[in-house]
């Protein structure tokens, strides 16, 4: 039977390299999230907050509240859960995504067959809303 008292130096090096790589990737991921949050244009985010209020998004959505008390999903962390392109398409015309997008169809099922209405948002309003929502991370 082989004794484990002597560890192969190559195995030790490989294991050490794996540990260092995992730690480095973890640190980079945290820094990337912090940098993404710090790249939010405060002026654009402020405009987005106004769009959120003026268009009545708060009637169906919460931001950072636990529990599903709203007609639609809580929007904290939505910019982490969905790609920028997906959010732009969704905000531009949510009805076009039903039947062709699995996430849209899942929300339709989850939220009692209520479809998000097309708010006819302009491109600048969409950009502002996404900027505003990117400030709120999932807890």
Q: Please write the tens of the pLDDT for every residue from 29-71.
A: 444 444 444 578 999 999 999 999 999 999 999 999 866 667 8
In a shared domain, residues 50 and 73: yes
Determine the average pLDDT of the residues in 66-83. Answer: 86
Amino acid 39: pLDDT: 77
* Full residue range of the structural domain in which residue 31 is found: 7-39
Of residues 62 and 20, which shows the higher confidence score?
Answer: 62
Amino acid 69: pLDDT: 63
For residue 86, report the phi and psi dihedrals to the nearest 5 degrees.
Answer: -60, -45
Residue 22 has pLDDT above 60, yes or no: no
Determine the average pLDDT of the residues in 108-126. Answer: 94
Note whether 90 and 126 are within 8 A (CB): no
In a shared domain, residues 127 and 70: yes
Give how many domains the chain has, as a whole number: 2
Note whether 95 and 89 are within 8 A (CB): no
Residue 1 has pLDDT above 80, yes or no: no
Residue 103 has pLDDT above 80, yes or no: yes
Residue 65: inside a domain: yes
Amino acid 44: pLDDT: 97
Residue 28: inside a domain: yes
In a shared domain, residues 52 and 117: yes
């Amino acid at each position: 039977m082989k004794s484990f008292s002597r560890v192969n130096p190559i195995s030790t090096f490989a294991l050490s390299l794996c540990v260092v790589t995992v730690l480095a990737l973890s640190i980079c991921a945290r820094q990337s999230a912090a940098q993404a949050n710090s790249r939010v244009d405060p002026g654009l985010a402020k405009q987005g907050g106004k769009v959120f209020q003026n268009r009545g998004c708060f009637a169906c959505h919460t931001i950072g509240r636990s529990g599903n008390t709203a007609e639609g999903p809580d929007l904290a962390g939505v910019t982490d859960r969905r790609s920028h392109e997906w959010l732009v398409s969704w905000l531009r015309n949510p009805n076009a995504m039903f039947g062709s997008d699995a996430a849209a169809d899942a929300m339709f099922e989850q939220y009692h067959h209520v479809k998000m209405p097309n708010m006819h948002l302009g491109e600048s309003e969409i950009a502002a809303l996404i900027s505003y929502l990117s400030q709120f991370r999932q807890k």
